[in-house]
Structure 1
Amino acid sequence: MSNLADPIKEKTGTAATLDLRDSRWLTFSRSLITQNIRASYLIVLDSILLILARYITESLSSTWNPTWSFKENPSIIILLVGINISIFLTNGLYKSGKHRRNYPAIFKSISISSLIILLVAFLYFPQALVARSTFLLFWAFSFFFVSFGRYISNLIIIQCNKANLFLHSVFLIVDPQNASMVIDLIRGCAYYKFCGWDEITALSLENIDNTITRLRAIGVSEVYIHANPLADPMYVYWKLQHAGITLYLLPGELKPVFREVELSYIHSIPCFRLNAPSIEGISFLLKRVLDFLGAAAFLVLLSPIYLFLSIIIS
């Protein structure tokens, strides 16, 4: 395996290493462009569906105050949609992958935004509150329309992936003895277009510029590297970033982890954290019973607050 030289040193007999801060051309990450387009589409879709939910709610209800009426005060929709979209962004519902179809998070986000809207109405428009049934109807329609829109969008994305549309072009740098296993792993992702692989020597000081030129020529947006150890990974990262290519470093052992892990850092060194179960030595059924009892107790404790808000609204 070839070692990468120090990026700030000169190699004997060759020109000095290019300063990575010296941009010869303006480049954009291909994967970032795709993610931004997808996020923008979801933001526009959610906004339209929230407006539709508001319009249908007003059409079905006859107890609207003019201050909160979309038909009589169209500017109020900016506040309503803005709060919802802001909560969605905070909860990461516009990230790629499973985040866009995280329906429990959508339910929580819409509930939080509805409570915020209710609080704003109580503090700043105490004489313009709406009926309780109208408030609950808008909350239910918002969750249903947004969830249905995300579900249909996910089906459309799956069909586009099957038709080889909007795929992430991926290239693999791997040791030959592990190539077949890692290639099968990459090809198992429906949203990836596998563009080929090369040995780790492609990242040597003599070859890395030619490798990046080849990756740009075939339109690669992401590079997966499986090498243990990889010399000077930050140098490789900066070179790929300079070309607008996203870098992924695969772990040494490709074995699935059947627990949810968290990425943390110890003195800038990444490590994975696997949390121990809260209850040990007890059957899973008993744990579910305790979860249910805890949730029920939580609702009972909050019921006076919800009752107080419902009385104010009505």
Structure 2
Amino acid sequence: MTAHETMIEIEGVTKRYGETVVVENVSLSVAKGAIAVIVGTSGSGKSTLVRTVNRLVPMTGGKISVGGRDIMSMPATELRRGIGYAIQGHGLFPHRTVAANIATVPQLLGWQKARVDSRVDELLTLFELDPAVFRGKYPHELSGGQQQRVGVARALAAEPEVLVMDEPFGALDPVIRGKAQDDLLAIQKQFGTTVILVTHDMDEAFHLGDMIAVMSGGRLLQYATPEKILTEPADPFVQQLTGTSDRALKLMSLSPLKQAMEPARPGLARSLSQDLSLRDALAEMIWNGVDEAAVENEAKAPVGSISMRRLLQLGKRS
């Protein structure tokens, strides 16, 4: 997989309802295997935009390609079977068991029963839901977090290359929400799925996104890496949405790298001194364009590593 290979290409997409413009001339591309998070306040157009990708909302103008194919060149049903879709509150069928819910799209695609059963069990196991216990349960017998996991498992069931998620964790309490986000990251990494996800929660955007799109009033204000959004907001609204990044960076300058580093990983090209502050480490990594660096002690021996993702998480927690 090449870094620049594009999976989702959104070009000049506009959506109007009568005279009201809900999405205005938005263009962005999502690389294969990346997570793009669209963030904005209520009414910013973010949910409408992602729903144009699987044609749940028809565009008024513009073009969208998924995997190099114009989405208008195929029947909507075919398009949607190839794109996983997960929403807030999970949208499970209440009168179907967990197994039947997850099997929905594979069955539509005509998979053999053995293959469907094995996929259901694989996904339940991945989400730490014992198949023997959960296959036959109904949605109302599950907790909110379990329902959400089944919702995401259903979206992933037919091995889609693209997963569209609209506020998928919005209804979960903060503790379960963090776990659900980590589940998503682990599973996305395992399958190499390309994800486009909507949230109003900037912390969630920083935690999950390889790229973040900030929308307001139907327009795209900035589409950039989390570190760019944090350090070079393109608009006062972006700065406001990320919180006072000055405060986060000031707090990062008081936190030593050696207290935040992760285990050492061989083969990292760039190294940083453990005596740097988190802010200085972030600045060095942005300057050198690296996502991960080794951490060395005074004797230049590797004692750990640090990733951009972890630094940004720590920065947002500040």
Higher helix share: 1
TM-score, length-scaled by structure 2: 0.23
TM-score, length-scaled by structure 1: 0.24
Higher strand share: 2
Larger radius of gyration: 1
